[in-house]
Amino acid sequence: MAVCVAVIGKENYPLYLRTVSPEEELKFHYTVHTSLDVVEEKVSSLTKSSNDPRELYLGLLYPTEDYKVYGYVTNSKIKFVIVVESANTALRDNEIRTMFRKLHVAYTDMFCNPFYNPGENITSRRFEEAIQTQEIVNA
Amino acid sequence: MADVESLFEFVHMEIVAYFLNKPGKNVDNDVIQNLERLGFGVGQRLVERFTKDSGRFKDELEIMKYICKDFWTAVYKKQIDNLRTNHQGTYVLQDNNFQLLTQMSDGKQYTEDAPKFLAFPCGLIRGALSNLGLSCSVSADVLSMPKCKFQIVIPKS
């Protein structure tokens, strides 16, 4: 299970951020924001090399002492970032991948709501529930 | 199962008719703008859904190919017949038998009304491209009745 999930818009502003404990939210805002440079780097290096795997999942962005940060970018340039505790070694790459898939599905479902304006903060209750029930982040 | 394509076709006809008969200011351009805006929203959402499982696009041309093949097939059940580009941001997509025009006479009779039926598709393309990160302008022309051309211009920064 992750400690933080974030959805970042096209122009690199946060659309959604959820942490396990609300007190740490600011800290994770900072962590997520720092990871955007790495995301940018990975995406541009992927598009330049010709034999790219062309996957939406970017893998581990960078590890810190306490956390590991993973990234995912959709075709519409929406970034998903998941932060996992480094101590949590039970989580495999594959599980992170499925977490991103679920997150992406939840996001597209939310996006297809006709009352949602692209670029707005995500306030959908269903999106929130999807994140909780699928145990991406459980507060 | 019922014919799903005709469902969309009928709804689209009603939407065009609705905007045309809307009370109040009814300048021709206004109708087209409204339809275009509607298409934009739909295009954005469609593309978000359709590209969920496809790989990342390498460049502009690849996005265009995607629009011509997969996107067009998903919406209009056929591919674009001809894609041309000057490699400087202008693309011309030609459809020789455009779904929303096939039911009209192929003479000159309805040529005037045709642009109203192309505003929504224009918006659709623009919305799709904008969500894939290309802001552009899209315009449409009717050549001879079921044949039409969409011109996409991506301004170079």
Is the Cβ of A56 closer than 8 Å to some Cβ of chain B? Answer: yes
- What interface predicted TM-score (ipTM) does this complex get? 0.80
Q: A75, A79, A103, A104: which to substitute to probe chain B, counting the most B Cβ within 10 Å?
A: A75
**Binary contact (A76, B51; C-beta < 8 A):** yes
Secondary structure E strands in chain A: 4-8, 14-19, 57-63, 67-73, 79-85
Q: Which amino acid is at A126?
A: R
Q: Which residue of B has its CA nearest to A119?
A: B131
Q: How far is CA A76 from CA A96, A125, A134, B104, in A?
A: 21, 23, 24, 36
Is the Cβ of A105 closer than 8 Å to some Cβ of chain B? Answer: yes
| Domain annotation for chain A: domains and CATH numbers | 2-133 (3.30.450.70)
Is the Cβ of A114 closer than 8 Å to some Cβ of chain B? Answer: yes
Q: Which residues is B82 bridged to in the sheet?
A: B94
Q: Three-state SS for B90? A: strand
Judge contact between B143 and B95, C-beta under 8 A.
no
Judge contact between A4 and A82, C-beta under 8 A.
yes
Cα–Cα distance, A62 to A66 (Å, whole number): 11
User: Chain A: nearest CA to B55, how far in angstroms?
Assistant: 5
pLDDT tens digits for A14-38?
Answer: 888 888 888 888 888 888 888 888 8
All residues of chain B having their beta carbon less than 8 Å from the beta carbon of residue A74 are 48, 51-52
* pLDDT given at position B52: 82
| Geometric angle at alpha carbon B88, from B36 and B142, rounded to 5° | 40
- pTM of the entire structure? 0.84
Contacts of A95 (CB under 8 A, 6+ apart): none
Minimal CA–CA distance to B43: which of B74, B4, B5? B74
Q: Which DSSP symbol is given to A56?
A: S
Cα–Cα distance, A60 to A53 (Å, whole number): 15
Confidence of residue A51 (pLDDT cuts 50, 70, 90): low
Is the Cβ of A44 closer than 8 Å to some Cβ of chain B? Answer: no
Q: Tell me which residue in A47, A73, A108 faces B52 most closely, judged by beta carbons.
A: A108
Confidence of residue B125 (pLDDT cuts 50, 70, 90): very high
* pLDDT given at position B92: 92
pLDDT tens digits for B106-115?
Answer: 777 777 788 8
Is the Cβ of A126 closer than 8 Å to some Cβ of chain B? Answer: no
The tokens 């062309």 sit on which residue? A54
Q: Three-state SS for A136? A: coil
Mean pLDDT of B123-130: 92
All residues of chain B having their beta carbon less than 8 Å from the beta carbon of residue A55 are 55-56
Judge contact between A68 and A84, C-beta under 8 A.
yes
Mean pLDDT of A87-105: 83
**Binary contact (A108, B48; C-beta < 8 A):** yes
Q: In degrees rounded to 5, what are phi and psi of residue B138? A: -125, 130
Gyration radius of chain B's alpha carbons: 16
Is the Cβ of B56 closer than 8 Å to some Cβ of chain A? Answer: yes
Contacts of B89 (CB under 8 A, 6+ apart): B60, B136, B153, B154, B155, B156
